[in-house]
Amino acid sequence: MLTGCPRTFRYIQRMPVKTSTTPRSNRVKILGGIAVAIVLIIGLFSGCAATTANTAPDQVALHYKGGAIQARTFADCIGPSSGLTLDGPGDDHYYYPFGQRTFDFTGDQNAESGSITVVSQDNIQMKVRGVATFTLQTDCQTLRKFHERIGLKYGADLDDEEAGTRGDDGWQQMIGIYLKQPMDRAMDAASQRFPWKALYNDPETRQKWENEVGRLAPSFIREQSGGDYFKDIQLTIQKPEPPDSIVQALIAEQQAIAENNAQKKRNETVQTELRSIRDLVKVLGPNGYVLYKAVQDGKVDVLPVPQGGNVTVTPRGN
């Protein structure tokens, strides 16, 4: 609808196009169409052009009427895949995502954020990496409330064909405040219930921790934003990681434990051998055991003894 244009524009727009049953009627229609097109072009160059909206399958839009003179008022919501929508001059359209979105806090090159830092029960700082998925509430009433309370403040509406070069910086800033910060609180609160070794090494403890984070995060997000603006919040988080120095110390500790256990095994083997030697000495006597050991180690040869003969022992040369 072309409202707010010069009076002559509106008058020409309302003028009926006379037609007749004569062959001239087609020419009259064509001339009438050309006249309207000329008026539209003049309106375009004079700042009196209609505004348009065209949402993609993953977008919705809010439509506000008004301009420099009229008060700006909310008009309606535009759903996804709307096609080209023609609205009045001076109207504004604010685009928001429709469907699932992600927030990547792995700290990787293309991630939206670095890892989140938490503190364990025994005061060890640990890093948590992961991805959050969520959906913005896009029913018209809730989306309008979100836009007017939060979206406008941060410029969180997304870029579209007419939005210039704003990009999505405002959206990312908003997500950092209303999603990341509450998740940080939830992870920190859950982490302080467990010691760092259990969070790092024990799968059962990590499962309890993840369950607690999943319980707290939606509540903290709702509290931070002041409304139910986000839904279907899911967290995929990796195990908390202590500082490298602590990891290396833990590795050294595990190596020492393994070495100590190995030494215990070696000591047990030596004690078993000593008990065996003592038993042999009791039976063979000291000299007998020495001879027995020399034969066992292959250091001497024992020749067959004829019946009634003497034992001959021949030491091997080195």
pLDDT tens, 260-317?
A: 776 676 677 777 877 777 877 777 787 777 777 777 777 766 666 566 656 555 665 5
Residues 169 and 111 in one domain: yes
Asked if the structure places residue 166 within a domain, the reply is yes
167 lies in the same domain as 228:
yes
3-class secondary-structure state, position 97: strand
Do 235 and 311 belong to one domain? no
- Which uninterrupted H or E stretch holds 62? strand 59-65
Give domain status of residue 4, yes or no. yes
115 and 226 both lie in a single domain: yes
Q: Which residues of the chain have pLDDT under 70?
A: 1-49, 67-70, 159-167, 250-251, 254-255, 258-259, 262-263, 265-266, 300-318
Same domain, 237 and 289: no
Evaluate whether residue 279 is within a structural domain.
yes
Residues 147 and 163 in one domain: yes
Whether 38 maps to a domain, the answer reads yes
Break the chain down into helix, strand, coil percent, rounded to 5.
45, 20, 35
Q: Is residue 248 part of a domain?
A: no
**pTM, entire model:** 0.63
The answer to whether position 32 is within a domain reads yes
Is the same domain home to 155 and 213? Answer: yes
The pLDDT of residue 305: 58
Closest by CA position to 158, among listed 89, 218, 98: 98
Using DSSP's 3-state secondary structure scheme, residue 182 falls into helix
Instruction: Please report whether residue 140 resides in a domain.
Output: yes
Q: How far apart are CA 279 and CA 149, in angstroms?
A: 90
Residue 247 lies in a domain: no
* Separation CA 29–CA 286 (nearest Å): 132
CATH number, position 154: 3.30.479.30
Bridge partners, 96 (sequence order)? 60
- Does 125 share its domain with 177? yes
Q: Which of 38, 66, 98 is the last residue of a domain?
A: 98
In terms of residue numbers, what domain contains 280?
Answer: 253-315
- 181 and 234 belong to one structural domain: yes
Residue 63 · residue 77 · CB < 8 Å: yes
Q: By CB neighbour count within 10 A (0-12 exposed, 13-18 middle, 19+ buried), where does 138 fall?
A: buried
Q: Pick from 242, 268, 299: which residue ends a domain? A: 242
Q: Which of 242, 274, 300 is the last residue of a domain?
A: 242
Same-domain check for residues 142 and 228:
yes
Taking the C-alpha atoms of residue 6 and residue 12, their distance in angstroms, rounded to an integer, is 10
37 shares its domain with 5: yes
- The CA distances from residue 173 to 48, 178, 243, in Å, are 35, 9, 28
Task: Work out how many domains the chain is built from and give that number.
Answer: 4
3-state secondary structure of 3: coil
> What pLDDT, on the 0 to 100 scale, is given for residue 220?
97
Find tokens 């020399």 and name the residue.
Answer: 294
Instruction: Report how far residue 206's alpha carbon sits from residue 208's, in angstroms, rounded to the nearest whole number.
Output: 5
Residues 225 and 196 in one domain: yes
